Structure 1
Amino acid sequence: MKITLSLFLSLIFTSCLYRPTVTVKEDFSDDWAMLRKYQKENDSIGPPKKGEKRVVFLGSSIFEIWKQKDPEYFRNRAYVDRGISGQISPQLLIRFRQDVIDLKPKAVIILAGSNDLAGNRGHVSNETILSNIKSMAELAKLNQIKVILCKYLPIYEYPWNKSLKGTAEQIISLNKEIVSYAESENFTILDYFTPLVDERNGQKAEYTTDGVHPNLAGYKVMEGITDAAIMKAIGK
C-alpha cells in the first residue's frame, strides 16, 4: 500500500494533535489530619441560627459510626458529628479550628485517646494524650465554647491488635486522668464507661459489635447520658 506525501503529512499532523487524557490524582499526603473530609460540609452548614445551641462531637470511629447507626439522633438536634475513624488525639487537635471553633458551637464533646493506645509502639502515654486534650480544651475556652470531656468506653482488648496487653487498665488509667483534669477546670464529664462496662472491664456484649464499637443498643445508652451532659453544660 502506497502512502502519498499528503496522507503521510496528514497522519503526522493528526498524531501531533492527539494527546491522551491523563487524570492527575490530587496529592493529599500533606493533609495528615484529613481536614478535607468535612471542609465542604462545614462551608455549607453556616453559622448557628438564632437561639440554636450547636454542639460538636469531635472524635474518631465511635462518633463517625454513631451517625451511621442512628442518623435520626443527629438530624433532629443541633448536634454536629465530626468523627473520623482511626484518628488519634494530635489529629483531632489539628482539626479543632476548622471542625469546632469555626462552626461556633455552644459546646464541644471531646472523645480522644483510644486510637493512640491501640497503635501504641512505646511513644504514647497518658501524658501525651492528655496534653492534646488540654490544648483542645484551652482553645475551646478561649472561644467561649463549653467543654465536655468523655470517660472513654470500656475496652478489654483491640481485635486488630490483640498483642497489646493491659488495654482495660490503660483505659481506666486514662479516664482517671481525664476526670481529674476536668474537675480541676470545672468541665462537664460525660461518663461513657460506667453504663457499658462488664465484669472484665470490657464492653457488655449486648452493647457492642466487636468489643470496641457500640451497636445500636449501645448508642441508645450513650444518647441518654450525652443529652444529660449537654443539658448540664449549656441547658436546654
Structure 2
Amino acid sequence: MKIVCIGDSLTFGYGVREIECWVSLLRKGLNGEVINKGINGDTTDGMTYRFQRDVISKSPTHVIIMGGSNDLIMGRSKTDIINNIEEMINLSIKDGVMPIIGIQPPMDAEMANKYWSAYTDFKQVNENIRAYRDWATSYIKKTNLTCFDFYKAINESMYKYKKEEIYIDGVHFTPRGHSIMAGIINIKK
C-alpha cells in the first residue's frame, strides 16, 4: 500500500514536529509508504495544479485529499472548492488511485482571530466548512468513496479536551489534535 496525502498546512503539520503530524502518525501505524504532500497556505487550485506531479506520478494505491480551508479564508466559494475536489477525485479514479476525502476540521474562531487576522470572519469560515462537510458526506454516500471526517473527530473531542489542548492558534493543531485526526483513519487495501 502506498498513500499520498495532499493538502495544505493541516496536512503538512504546521506548528508541530514532523513526527507529530497526523500523516506521520498514519505512517507509523500502517504497513506501507505514506507521502506527505501538504503545503502551507495552499488552496484547492494549487492542489489541483500540482496533482499530477505530487500524486499521480508517485503511483500510489490511495490518495487522501483534504483542502479548502485557505480557499474559504480568502473568500473563495464552496463551489470552487467542490469543483477542484471533484477534479482531483476524477483524476485519481482515471489513473487507478483510490481517492479518499478528508473533511477539514472546524476552526476555533476566537483563537483564530487572536492569532491570525481580525479582518477574517472565522465564524463565517466555519459555517462554510460545515456546509462543505454537508456536501462531502452526501457525495460520499452517492459515490461509495471513503471519507475521514476530521471535522466530526475534532468537534467531538471538544467535549473531552480544552481547546488549547487541541488548537495551537485556532486554525492549526497541537500534537494531541493531530493524534485525534490520525486516530480515525482506517484504510483498507
Superposition TM-score, scaled by structure 1 size = 0.67
Partner SS for 1:218: helix
Shift of 1:89: 0.3
Structure with higher strand content = 2
Paired-residue identity, %? 28
Alignment match, 2:80: 128
Alignment match, 1:180: 138
What is the letter of the counterpart of residue 130 of structure 1? Answer: I
Please report the RMSD computed on the Cα atoms of aligned residues, expressed in angstroms: 2.2
Describe the shift of the 1:67–1:181 C-alpha distance in structure 2 as closer, same or farther (beyond 3 A).
farther
Work out the CA distance in 1 between the residues paired with 2:145 and 2:56.
17
Alignment match, 2:20: 70
What is the letter of the counterpart of residue 213 of structure 1? Answer: H
Unmatched 5+ residue regions in structure 2? none
Aligned positions of 1:58-207 closer than 5 A: 58-65=6-13, 68-70=18-20, 73=25, 76=28, 77=30, 78-120=33-75, 124-157=76-109, 158-159=112-113, 160-165=116-121, 166-197=124-155, 204-207=163-166
Higher RCO (CA-CA < 8 Å; seq separation 6+) = 2
Maintained 8 Å contact 2:26/2:182: no
What is the letter of the counterpart of residue 171 of structure 1? Answer: I
Work out the CA distance in 2 between the residues paired with 1:149 and 1:193.
12
Superposition TM-score, scaled by structure 2 size = 0.83
Alignment match, 1:8: none
Work out the CA distance in 1 between the residues paired with 2:17 and 2:63.
16
Alignment match, 2:180: 221
What is the letter of the counterpart of residue 105 of structure 2? Answer: L
What is the letter of the counterpart of residue 68 of structure 1? Answer: E
Maintained 8 Å contact 1:67/1:74: no
Work out the CA distance in 2 between the residues paired with 1:74 and 1:184.
27
**Who wins on radius of gyration, i.e. which is larger?**
1
Work out the CA distance in 1 between the residues paired with 2:174 and 2:37.
19
Shift of 1:67: 6.4
Shift of 1:150: 1.5
Shift of 1:100: 0.4
What is the letter of the counterpart of residue 131 of structure 1? Answer: N
Work out the CA distance in 1 between the residues paired with 2:44 and 2:17.
20
Aligned length in residues: 173
